[in-house]
Amino acid sequence: MAAELVPGQNHPLPGARLEIRLSAGEPVIAGATLTDEHGRVPRPEWVGHPGAPVLPGLELPRQAAAEHRLAVDLGALPEAVRRVNILLALPTGTGRAERFGALSAPHAAITTLDGTRIAGFTVTGLDAESAVFALELYERQGAWKVRAAGQGYAGGLAAMLADQGLPDAAGLAARINAAVSEGLARAVAAAPPPTVPASRTPAGGVDYRHPTRRPASPGAGPDTPAPPPDPGSGPGVDYRHPVRSAPAAGQPTPAGRPPAPVAGDAAGWSLEERLYNQVWGMFEDLTRSVAAYRSAVDFADSRLERELEDVLADPRSRIGTAADAAREAADARHGALVGQARAALDRDLAQLIAESAVVEPALPPPYARWDSACWHSYQVPAQAPMALRLGDLSLEESGPLRIPMLMRLPLQRGLWIDTGSAGALGPADADQVRHDGVGLAVSLAARLLAAYPADAFAVHVIDPDGAAAAGLAPLRDAGLLAAPPAAGAAGVRAVLEELTQRVDLVQMAIRSGATDALPPGTDAADRLLIVHDFPHGFDERAVTQLRYLADEGAQAGVHLMLVADRAEAEAYGPLLDPLWRGLLRVTPLPEDHLADPWIGHAWTYEPPTAADRGETLARVLARVAQARRSRPY
């Protein structure tokens, strides 16, 4: 897992060729300095900036922007270079924010060329600073490392360059700001982008291309902001994200009001893909905003503790009015820091809540809540979607904001609905949790059936003692089970034999390159196996077959969903540990057991409620069943 650094922490770099991704709430200048063995920048040619974006081993953006990507090849640096410093600065004279304290915390991520994240760093605690020394890449004993710096400069770019020993730092800073100002002026005056090819233009002539993917106008660099639309060019929609991209120059938003959110504002050619990417963007934005808030609070707490220790360190000042005044001042500084961090978080949350209010109603059925109006016009699709909604995610600080939990299709991991999450509840409540576990399994199975074309997905159920009969009624009554739920040892054995044989056949066909040569009569539909109350009714052979389906089934179109309490499987010892680890755990009760891939926050998973899915689920299953009956043979 990638490391999330704190100021002063270092982390090894796995290779010489890297990408550094920088993001901030407003357009910023990204730059880099090369330093010698004494940590000094000897001449302006060792400074990379928009006016000189290419240095040996470095390629930087040519313009100020809210997001940047810097290419680094440590092996191509000049021999005298010992360190590479990554810098951020606010452009001057643009009418935008003049201090980082007015923006969301800048974030830096170090990745490999294929996008694999190595480390990240959120720069917190900034106030009047207008330039930041964010990261330092340095060589130690033949190996390169990255160190989180986070040093801010209230004197701006000139003070930061002077601190690194550059002669005439003020002159170079002025030239950099002038180059940025000229670039912004050229971007405003640029001609509109070329029209979309006819084969990719949706009805109505709306340009759905993501602004950062549009072809650049002549003379514009790869980081030049997209020019504003021409009012006389016909209908157009601005799909730029209000948080992840800067407002177009010349089109400022009303004072004190953030840009209006727009649904589908992300990369992608189809609306479905854009909405999927936008939801993930919201997820990442909330992750980083909360990380910045928590980091700022931790810093304020540690500072308060240190100041109180200083007060108590001298026996002569532990009591009296001087000590009381010192404590009150320390508490006031702590409250101010926490209040500033909370204000920044509240600003980000307000923007994300506004965006969610726009995005949620626009989501297609596979991504939407069960109570969404889009299900009223649901039709069985001709092809499977990109992803499926499993529930909602939230953090303790996110208030009413909920992020849809989307899982890509086809499922590459099985699902484990943990009915042991009832914990210390009484017997009656524990029984209700088990009942809710079956309800969640039916809800997710219904979503899968609704997401695939007619007859392209089949559901099998193993219910050894028939305890889930009532909960399975929606699937059974709609006639959407491939066979009646398997009961008893013989039923368990028969279903597992059928599905393992199918996996074997498909794998042999794949290995031989003859996927169209399956035996006549082989059903090509994907399968979902729901196992209730595992491991009840399973002997050692059945357990081995189930592990085989969990490990190999997804590649052959056989997916697994367990409704089980792990504690009840303890009799099998460590045999089932790989099975549990290979499944994605969800719970019928809200629980904070999931982690994001960037910071590792403990996210609370919230399943769809029975009230939300009730009538809608039955109506959707009836339409799927009708589509199957009317399918031409």
Model pLDDT for residues 53-108, shown as the tens digit of each residue: 889 989 988 888 888 989 999 988 998 899 999 999 998 876 677 888 888 889 99
CA distance 386 to 452: 11
Task: Tell me what pLDDT residue 185 has.
Answer: 44
CB 146 within 8 Å of CB 10: yes
> Do the bridges between strand 107-111 and strand 83-89 make them parallel or antiparallel, or are there none, so unpaired?
unpaired
Q: Which CATH number fits domain 408-629: 1.10.10, 3.40.50, 1.10.3470, 3.40.1000?
A: 3.40.50
Does this model's pTM top 0.75? no
Task: Grade residue 276 by pLDDT with cuts at 50, 70 and 90.
Answer: very high
The candidate with the shortest Cα–Cα distance to 22, out of 177, 244, 176, 252, is 244
What mean pLDDT is predicted for residues 152-169? Answer: 91
Mean pLDDT lowest among 122-126, 231-235, 548-552: 231-235
Task: Grade residue 246 by pLDDT with cuts at 50, 70 and 90.
Answer: very low
The candidate with the shortest Cα–Cα distance to 602, out of 291, 369, 281, 277, is 291
Token pair recorded at residue 301:
């707490």
536-568: pLDDT as tens digits: 889 889 999 999 999 888 888 899 999 999 888
Is the pLDDT at 365 greater than 70, yes or no?
Answer: yes
Is the pLDDT at 188 greater than 50, yes or no?
Answer: no
Contacts of 327 (CB under 8 A, 6+ apart): 308, 311
**DSSP code of 141?**
T
Q: Which CATH number fits domain 3-188: 2.60.60.30, 3.40.190.10, 2.60.40.1180, 3.40.50.1010?
A: 2.60.60.30
3-state SS, one letter per residue, for 17-45: EEEEEEEEEEEEEEEEEEECCCCCCCCHH
Task: Tell me what pLDDT residue 632 has.
Answer: 58
Helix spans in 114-254 (H): 156-163, 169-189
DSSP states of 359-406 as a string? HHHH--GGGS-TT-GGGGG----SS--SEEEEEEEE-GGGTT--EEEE
Instruction: Tell me the Ramachandran region of residue 201: left when phi exceeds 0, alpha when psi lies from -120 to 50, beta otherwise.
Output: beta
Query: Helix (H, G, I), strand (E, B), or coil: what is residue 464?
Result: coil
Is the pLDDT at 311 greater than 50, yes or no?
Answer: yes
Task: Tell me what pLDDT residue 611 has.
Answer: 63
Residue-averaged pLDDT of the chain? 81
CA distance 35 to 50: 19
Render the burial of 291-330: b for 16+ CB within 10 Å, e for the rest: bbbbbbbebbeeebeebbeebeeeeeeeeeeebeebeeeb
Helix spans in 101-230 (H): 156-163, 169-189
**DSSP code of 203?**
T
What mean pLDDT is predicted for residues 14-39? Answer: 89
494-538: pLDDT as tens digits: 999 999 988 888 888 777 766 566 666 667 788 999 999 888 889
The candidate with the shortest Cα–Cα distance to 348, out of 443, 243, 432, 446, is 243
DSSP states of 571-613 as a string? GGGGGGHHHHHHSEEE-SS-EEEEE-SSS--EEEEEPPPHHHH
Stretch (H or E) spanning 555: none
φ/ψ of residue 311, rounded to 5: -65, -40
